[in-house]
Structures are given as structure tokens and as C-alpha cells.
Amino acid sequence: MQYNVIVIGSGPGGYVAAIRCAQLGFKTAIVEKYDTLGGTCLNVGCIPSKALLDSSEHFTNAKEHFAEHGIDIPAPKVNFTQMIKRKGDVVKSNVDGIAYLMKKNKIDVHKGVGSFVDKNTIKVTSKDGKETTLTTEKVIIATGSKPTPLPFAAFDKKRIISSTEALELKEVPKHLIVIGGGVIGMELGSVYARIGSKVTVVEFLDSLIPTMDGTMGKELARVAKKQGIEVYLGHKVTAVENTGSEVVVKAEPKNGGTALELKGDYCLVSIGRRPYTDGLGLDKIGIQTEKGQIPVDDHLKTKVDNVYAIGDVVRGAMLAHKAEEEGVYVAEQLAGQKPHVNYLLIPGVVYTWPEVASVGYTEEQLKQSGRAYKTGSFPYKALGRARASMDTDGLVKVLADRQTDEILGVHIIGARAADMIAAGVTAMEFRASAEDVARMSHAHPTYMEAVKEACLAASDNRAIHI
């Protein structure tokens, strides 16, 4: 065999799997159909969206908060072309970084669509039609996901767009209609609301970011409205039409009431993503997808003995760090090690401002499972650090077992929640009780004091500052 391991797809699942395989001494190749490495996350996902979130946040601060801080500047203006260019530069430096890491780890990169000939043979078809045949002992499929379209309105990529086009627009929309108030809808909706678009979010369920703890969605809806984002919950979209000069969206309240007709210049459809296996030739090795996903066992092995699958293309959260953990897991398993992924402790973050971050069980899940729990919350507005920066929206909510006090979930909406959630993951990984965290000294003044206070509230209703 030419290779010990071939990885198909170079997103965070694939490139991390390849690096770990190479570190463990396997002769490794990676196959990527696009010109650049890094997959959805680096090219059209995590990185470009965060680049635009950061730029638009700077603009908001300059426009709305500098004066209060005693910084007088002429009214700032958005240079959208530069904003998009900077985003492109950020993406380039990241994808170039992956190319460097492949070289450093002596991983062969094959550009083209990878497809199975049989379980040990992968054909790579490059853009110019040239075919290369590679042989391997093991294969790791990491082909990721694509945006899900509405069944009745395909992406035309002009006015009816997915996140990919929303990251690459040529102008700031006058009115951006967002279908789906999940992670993409709220992040990209925030970007455009901050830089001057009217943004309307139409969500089918009764909460924004509905997979997270209900308190988070409620608070995010409150803050989003304060930021000028119009939110329609519990609405079923019935039609989306590009009339040429505008896009018309029709929706009906699920529980009856007046139908909605919205007119905008762009409609971002962000109703989830679906696993991507086109062109992979799974039929050649007898694998059938289930709901689009590649079925895997607890060890991420498919029904074919030497073929594994990881990341967005398999069950579980569609998150870059989940894909990375799975990449490392499979590589180490191939090397005979006994790795472990704790799926309960994969944190979820929404990079709005304030940010939302969660780990562990939600209150809804605990209620449903019948587990006895207690809660402790602490609002940002009672926090000295938050008052100093004027980031007083938000709260920390800690859920703990009612008998043992073990922390079962940490949910934060507030400034810097994305970084703070790591403390929740650490505490839960070590099975800390709320009192364990409550008794640790937290530097003052920091946002993390809100976590300590929420743990104090959860362990014995003894928060100090509220």
C-alpha cells in the first residue's frame, strides 16, 4: 500500500486527523477537492464569520460607545469593501497555515475529488480531469456538510443566499431577511444589523438558538431586539421569491394569526446544514447514508472494517472542535491507543455580542430526564467588571445535581462567554460540585466572578453580590 492512512476532506476534522496520524508515525495523505485547505470552517465558516463579527463589533463600539468612554471621533463610516478584504486576508493566512502544517508533518496533499474505487483504493479527480489512484490501509472520511436549502426555494446565490454568499456580499443589505434563528442566523444577522442593515429573523420554533438552554434564547431575543433586530418566533415560512429587484418572504404564525409578508434585498436561509457525501462513491464500498449521515459505531468506524468517518458527516453536533476531537480519536485508535471523546462536554458557542456559551445539560433536558437538579444564576449587571466595560447584558446559569451538587450544565450569555465556558468544561470534566467552584478564588474584577457567584447561588443560595 502507498499509504497507511488517507483522509478525505481537509476541514478541522480531516486536517487534524491527518496531523495526528502523521505524528503517530503513519504515512498519511489528505485529499481535498477545493484549492485551499481548511474546509468549511476556515474558508466559509468559523473564521470568516468571526472576522466580520469582530470588524462589525469594532464599528458598533466606535459608533455607539466611544463617546461615553470619553473618546470623541467623527461619526465612523463602514468601508464594506475593506471589511470583506480583511476577512479574505484572515482566511488566507489561516488556510496557508494549514498548508504549512501539512508540509511540516510530511503529509501528502492531493487536490481533487476523492472517491472510493474499493475499500483500499481512492481515485482523485483533479479540476482538469486528471485521475490519480492511491492505495491505503485505512481511510478517514471527513467530507463535512453543506447548507440545507428550503424545500420550496433553492439558493439562487443572488438574493436567496446561504452563509457562504452572506460572507462575500458586495454591498451592505438594506433589509436582510434571515430564515432560521439558530447559530448562523444570529451571528450573521448581528454582523449586518451592526453595520446598518435592517435585519428581520423568522424562526419556526418558539425560541432563538432553540437547541441551547431556554434562558439563553430568551435573553438573546431580548438583547437582539434592543440591538434593532426584528424577531418573529413561531413562524412557518411558506414562500420565498426572488422578484429580480427584491426578495419576498411569506410566513404564517404556527398557532394562527396574521400572515407575514416581508420584502428585503437579501434572504439568508440558515435552517441547518446537511452532511455532504456527493461524489464519494460510498456505493462502491457498500455504505448507505442514513438521513444523509454516514453511520458509524461508538469508535467512529463505518460498517467497512478499515473505513472511519468523523465530523459533520456523522452524528452529533456540527462543530469544528467536535470534528477535531474525533479526528484525534480515530488517529489514536488506529495507533492502538484508548482515546475518549466526552460528547456531553463539547461546548457550544454563539459569537453574537453578548456571546452565548453552553456546556453540559440544558434545564429542559434535565426536566425531561426527571433528574433532580437545582439552579444558580448571576446577572452581569451585578458584576463590577461588566459595569466598568458597560457590558451589563447577560447572566450565568449553573445547573447542579440536587443531591450531590455535581455541576450538570453551565450556560452563559454575556461578554466573553466564549472563553469563559472553558472553565465550565474543566469543572465538569473533573466532576466538580458547584461548591468546589464557589470556594475557588476568582480574580477580581473579572467576568469569571459571575460563574463563581452562580455556583454560590446553586450550592446554597448564597451569592454575595446580589
The count of other CB atoms within 10 Å of the CB of residue 281 is 17
Q: Which 288-317 positions form the footprint of ligand NAI (CB under 6 A)? A: 317
Residue 182 touches ligand NAI, criterion: CB under 6 A: yes
Strand partners, 201: 178, 231
Q: Which does 276 bind (CB under 5 to 8 A by kind): ligand FAD, ligand NAI, none?
A: ligand FAD
Is 442:451 a contact under the CB 8 Å cutoff? Answer: yes
CA distance linking residue 19 with residue 324, whole number of Å: 11
Sheet holding 348-350, edge to edge: 348-350, 355-360, 407-414, 395-401, 373-379
Residues 63 and 75: their CA atoms lie apart, in Å, by: 7
When CB distances are held under 5 to 8 angstroms depending on the partner's kind, the choice from ligand NAI, ligand FAD, none that residue 217 binds is none
- From ligand NAI, ligand FAD, none, which one binds at residue 229 (CB under 5 to 8 Å depending on kind)? none
User: Would you say 385 and 394 are in contact if contact means Cβ atoms under 8 Å apart?
Assistant: no
Q: In this chain, which of 13, 48, 112, 181 binds ligand NAI, going by CB under 6 A?
A: 181
Q: Which residue is nearest to ligand NAI (CB)?
A: 182
- Contact residue for ligand NAI among 87, 273, 411, 416 (CB under 6 A): 273
Compare residues 311 and 414 and give the one whose CB is closer to ligand FAD: 311
- Interface stretch with ligand NAI, choices 26-34, 223-231, 267-275, 329-337 (CB under 6 A): 267-275
- Nearer to ligand FAD by Cβ, of 313 and 437: the residue is 313
- CA 5 – CA 152 distance, rounded (Å): 41
Interacting residues with ligand FAD (CB under 6 A) = 8-14, 31-34, 39-41, 45-46, 49, 113-115, 142-145, 163, 184, 276, 279-280, 311-313, 318-321, 323, 351
Angstrom distance (rounded) from CA 244 to CA 127: 32
**In the annotation, is 65 catalytic?**
no
8 A C-beta contact, residue 53 and residue 187: yes
Cα 327 to chain centroid, rounded: 17
The answer to whether the Cα torsion of 400, 371, 421, 299 is positive or negative is positive
In the complex with ligand FAD, the residue whose CB is nearer, 113 or 300, is 113
Single out the catalytic residue among 65, 299, 444, 465: 444
CB of 430 vs ligand FAD, minimal distance in Å: 23
Q: Kind of pairing, strands 3-8 and 28-32?
A: parallel
| Binding status of residue 332 toward ligand NAI by CB under 6 A | no
Beta strand ranges found along 334-451 (DSSP E):
348-350, 355-360, 373-379, 395-401, 407-414
| The one segment of 204-212, 325-333, 387-395, 450-458 that binds ligand NAI by CB under 6 A | 204-212
Give the interface segment with ligand NAI, choosing from 20-28, 65-73, 114-122, 268-276 (CB under 6 A): 268-276
Sign of the alpha-carbon torsion through 185, 188, 194, 195: negative
Site pattern 49..88 for ligand NAI (x: CB under 6 A): ----------------------------------------
Q: Where does 158-231 have alpha helices with state H?
A: 163-166, 183-194, 214-226
46 vs 102, beta carbon nearer ligand NAI: 46
Distance of alpha carbon 449 from alpha carbon 466, whole angstroms: 12
Classify burial at 50, counting beta carbons within 10 Å of its beta carbon; exposed 0-12, middle 13-18, buried 19 or more.
Answer: middle
Q: Which does 360 bind (CB under 5 to 8 A by kind): ligand NAI, ligand FAD, none?
A: none
**Nearest to ligand FAD of 115, 190 (CB atom):** 115
User: Considering only residues 123-162, where is the footprint of ligand NAI by CB under 6 A?
Assistant: none
How near is the Cβ of 317 to ligand NAI at its closest, in Å?
Answer: 6
Q: Which grid cell sits at 370?
A: 426527571
List, in sequence order, every beta strand (DSSP E) within 211-347. Answer: 230-232, 235-242, 247-253, 260-264, 266-269, 273-275, 307-309
Among 51, 318, 407, 457, binds ligand NAI (CB under 6 A): 318
409 binding partner (options ligand FAD, ligand NAI, none; Cβ < 5 to 8 Å by kind): none
CB of 35 to ligand NAI, least distance (A): 23
- Given ligand NAI, ligand FAD, none, residue 213, with its beta carbon under 5 to 8 Å by kind, binds none
**Residues between 208 and 237 with contacts to ligand NAI, criterion CB under 6 A:** 210, 237
Strand partners of residue 266: 176
Binding stretches for ligand NAI (CB under 6 A): 179-185, 187, 202-205, 210, 237, 270-273, 317-319, 349-351
Q: Which residues are catalytic?
A: 444
